[in-house]
Amino acid sequence: MMKMPVGLFLLLALSNVVFLLGKEDDWECNNKPTLHSRPHSVSIAEFGAIGDGKTLNTLAFQNAIFYLKSFADKGGAQLYVPAGKWLTGSFNLTSHLTLFLEKDAVILGSPDPAHWEVASPLPSYGRGIDLPGPRHRSLISGYMLNDVIITGHNGTVDGQGLTWWDKYNSHSLDYSRPHLVEFIFCNYTAISNITFLNAPAYNIHPVYCSYVLVLNVSVFAPPDSPYTLGVVPDSSDGVCIEDSRIVVGHDAISVKSGWDEYGIAYGRPSSNIHIRSVSLKSFSGASLAFGSEMSGGISDVRAEQLHISDSYSGIGFRTAKGRGGYIKNIIADDAEMENVYIAIDATGQSESHPDDKYDKDALPFLNGITFQNVVGTNISIAGSFSGIQESPFTSVCLLNVSLSIPSSSSAYWVCSNVSGLSQSVVPEPCPDLEGITTSNSSSGSCFPLLYSNGRSWTL
Ligand SMILES: *[C@@H]1O[C@H](CO)[C@@H](O)[C@H](O)[C@H]1NC(C)=O
Ligand SMILES: *[C@@H]1O[C@H](CO)[C@@H](O)[C@H](O)[C@H]1NC(C)=O
Ligand SMILES: *[C@@H]1O[C@H](CO)[C@@H](O)[C@H](O)[C@H]1NC(C)=O
Ligand SMILES: *[C@@H]1O[C@H](CO)[C@@H](O)[C@H](O)[C@H]1NC(C)=O
Ligand SMILES: *[C@@H]1O[C@H](CO)[C@@H](O)[C@H](O)[C@H]1NC(C)=O
Ligand SMILES: *[C@@H]1O[C@H](CO)[C@@H](O)[C@H](O)[C@H]1NC(C)=O
Ligand SMILES: *[C@@H]1O[C@H](CO)[C@@H](O)[C@H](O)[C@H]1NC(C)=O
Ligand SMILES: *[C@@H]1O[C@H](CO)[C@@H](O)[C@H](O)[C@H]1NC(C)=O
Ligand SMILES: *[C@@H]1O[C@H](CO)[C@@H](O)[C@H](O)[C@H]1NC(C)=O
């Protein structure tokens, strides 16, 4: 897995990038790169920026980054953001750059939408997420970049999302809402040791990217903020999300890969995603979500050491007829849930479509999803699996799952058009998830047995 072509490995070594790759065939959280400091650094203050929370500094950020482009072949450079409140509109990053936010440095998103550029929709979506047509560009964007790091001493990026949420709720947006950080077609990017607040929509959105590291970040948005999402790997591979705390209105971590006919045509999956040691809360969505946009396919995701609390659903899978694509080879291992309405929620009826041109016969597949070593307290519904009649969910496995449910709850498990296996599950699951006994014990059809290229996970 994650085999890096030798040529690329050499190229990276020669171009003096700060990513020191470990074993070249094993990225993700087990073999994270070491982040080094850059040989050159400039402060945003040197470009005339004023950290008073009032002066608009968009031009200072754009000029600083334009200047730092010239260091790309000299080991790259750091843009240092000192303590202060640095108001800005959207700006672009460049390759071989570290954006470093000092303790008490806050990059404040301008509350005026006119300060956020407008860009064309992503090809795998065909439109913006909120409205058809173009969308606002993210506060911090990277387009076709290599080797970019956003880090610091727990400085903050605050999107001041309130104006956007109000406009969303009152249907007065001009274009779809922006995100805080979006990387499009980027390789080797890392975000670590910083805090994200009040995103207009998503917080961290890598799209069409390879090798993304999200480490030790904190993400907060108010519970009632509409459709705010935390980290959203989208048509991206080789992703590690670790040691992070995410509290949002909707989904805390959401793996996606494009929407209906646009996602099918674009055809870029999300795969090889490793999530470890995260604490998640999602008021109205799922703490760990797959879809509903998954038309390019989602596979090979391992999520472990999950602490999920105060959420509508713990782990959610969403798809619908018309999506096409697949969700397969997913394992959630070692999850603790507390105060969660539905612990596991998988639905094939997530009917929202980009337009009316989608192909109603494009059936999605969901196969090979394993939940193991899950404990939950104060859960209302243990699990709901609602597959698609023409394409039932298959090989859904529950192993060592124990959920405590107040006796007032009436439905423990709700199952239709789903098949799979279960062992040591409390409360007893629906018969669709056939019990494995010790006499015929073999969870042989449960993922993971072997990883796609024959490497086995350590279980
Ligand atoms: C940011 O990057 C995009 C994509 O390359 C480009 O279209 C846009 O003009 C850039 N914006 C600025 C201010 O440079
Ligand atoms: C990222 O890697 C892919 C696959 O190796 C390559 O096709 C693409 O050009 C790279 N992107 C950049 C910005 O270097
Ligand atoms: C996480 O970030 C905090 C604040 O910057 C820092 O004190 C702590 O050492 C970091 N933890 C890890 C595991 O990097
Ligand atoms: C970083 O700062 C935020 C507040 O801005 C705080 O909630 C969080 O705990 C800090 N993170 C770490 C790892 O210290
Ligand atoms: C995070 O911050 C801690 C404490 O300053 C530091 O030791 C660690 O190297 C940083 N990690 C990353 C990935 O930036
Ligand atoms: C149980 O969880 C629900 C959310 O599903 C929450 O509203 C309620 O307060 C929790 N009860 C206790 C005793 O914590
Ligand atoms: C079952 O899961 C719980 C919670 O993760 C764990 O403590 C326990 O060791 C597991 N039991 C077995 C037999 O693996
Ligand atoms: C599959 O779902 C449909 C509704 O979508 C339902 O009518 C049908 O009975 C289900 N089939 C099974 C075998 O549960
Ligand atoms: C295992 O044995 C039990 C009890 O005999 C039976 O109900 C179940 O269908 C068997 N499961 C498999 C996967 O063979």
What is the distance in A from the centroid of ligand 6 to the CA of 340? 7
Encode pLDDT of 384-433 as tens digits. Answer: 999 999 999 999 999 999 999 987 766 799 999 999 999 899 999 999 99
The per-residue pLDDT for 31 is: 77
Encode pLDDT of 236-257 as tens digits. Answer: 999 999 999 999 999 999 999 9
Q: Smallest Cα–Cα separation from 74: which of 129, 143, 147?
A: 147
Phi and psi at 68, nearest 5°, equal -75, -15
Encode pLDDT of 256-302 as tens digits. Answer: 999 999 999 999 999 999 999 999 999 999 999 999 999 999 999 99
- Output the residue whose Cα is nearest ligand 6's atom 10: 339
Strand pairing report for 135-136 and 118-119: antiparallel
- Output the residue whose Cα is nearest ligand 1's atom 4: 143
The pLDDT-based confidence of 437 (bands split at 50, 70, 90) is low
Calpha distance 143→120 (Å, rounded): 13
Least confident of 20-34, 199-213, 301-315, 389-403: 20-34
Calpha distance 206→437 (Å, rounded): 43
Flag whether pLDDT at 5 surpasses 80: no
- Output the residue whose Cα is nearest ligand 9's atom 7: 435
Encode pLDDT of 86-97 as tens digits. Answer: 999 999 999 999
Would you tell me how many other CB atoms lie within 10 Å of the CB of residue 23? 10
Q: Which ligand is nearest to the CA of 398?
A: 7
Flag whether pLDDT at 456 surpasses 50: no
What is the amino acid identity at position 345?
A: D
Token readout for 408 is 């007032």
Q: Kindly report the length of the chain.
A: 459
Pocket of ligand 6 (CB under 6 A): 339-341, 378, 380
Calpha distance 157→155 (Å, rounded): 7
Q: Which ligand is nearest to the CA of 94?
A: 1
How large is the average pLDDT for residues 330-354? 97
Contacts of 374 (CB under 8 A, 6+ apart): 332, 334, 335, 336, 337, 343, 398, 400, 401, 402, 403
What is the distance in A from the centroid of ligand 2 to the CA of 187? 6
The per-residue pLDDT for 445 is: 67
Cβ atoms 225, 201 nearer than 8 A? no
- For residue 143 and ligand 2, the question of a CB distance below 6 A is answered with no
The per-residue pLDDT for 14 is: 33
Cβ atoms 273, 255 nearer than 8 A? yes
The pLDDT-based confidence of 457 (bands split at 50, 70, 90) is very low
The structure tokens 């400085």 sit at 155
Pick 446 or 216 by higher pLDDT: 216
Encode pLDDT of 101-159 as tens digits. Answer: 999 999 999 999 999 999 999 999 999 999 999 999 999 999 999 999 999 999 999 99
- Output the residue whose Cα is nearest ligand 4's atom 5: 195
Pocket of ligand 4 (CB under 6 A): 154, 156, 195, 218
Q: Smallest Cα–Cα separation from 140: which of 77, 186, 76?
A: 186
Considering the chain, what is the average pLDDT of its residues?
Answer: 90
How large is the average pLDDT for residues 180-190? 97
Calpha distance 169→172 (Å, rounded): 8
The per-residue pLDDT for 304 is: 94
What is the distance in A from the centroid of ligand 7 to the CA of 219? 29
The per-residue pLDDT for 458 is: 29
Q: Could you tell which of 103, 156, 191, 193 is best to mutate to test the pocket of ligand 3, judged by most ligand atoms within 8 Å of the CB?
A: 193
Token readout for 245 is 């705390």
- Output the residue whose Cα is nearest ligand 5's atom 10: 193
The per-residue pLDDT for 455 is: 34
Which of 1.10.3720.10, 2.60.40.790, 2.160.20.10, 3.40.50.2300 is the CATH number of 42-433?
A: 2.160.20.10
- Output the residue whose Cα is nearest ligand 3's atom 9: 193
- For residue 11 and ligand 2, the question of a CB distance below 6 A is answered with no
Cβ atoms 168, 174 nearer than 8 A? no
- Output the residue whose Cα is nearest ligand 4's atom 12: 154
pTM confidence score? 0.92
How large is the average pLDDT for residues 36-56? 96
Q: Smallest Cα–Cα separation from 328: which of 302, 306, 348?
A: 302
Minimum-distance ligand 4 atom for the alpha carbon of 216: 13
Percent of the chain with pLDDT over 70: 89
The structure tokens 């939408």 sit at 113
Q: Could you tell which of 304, 400, 423 is best to mutate to test the pocket of ligand 7, judged by most ligand atoms within 8 Å of the CB?
A: 400
What is the distance in A from the centroid of ligand 3 to the CA of 100? 14
- Output the residue whose Cα is nearest ligand 9's atom 10: 436
The per-residue pLDDT for 448 is: 61
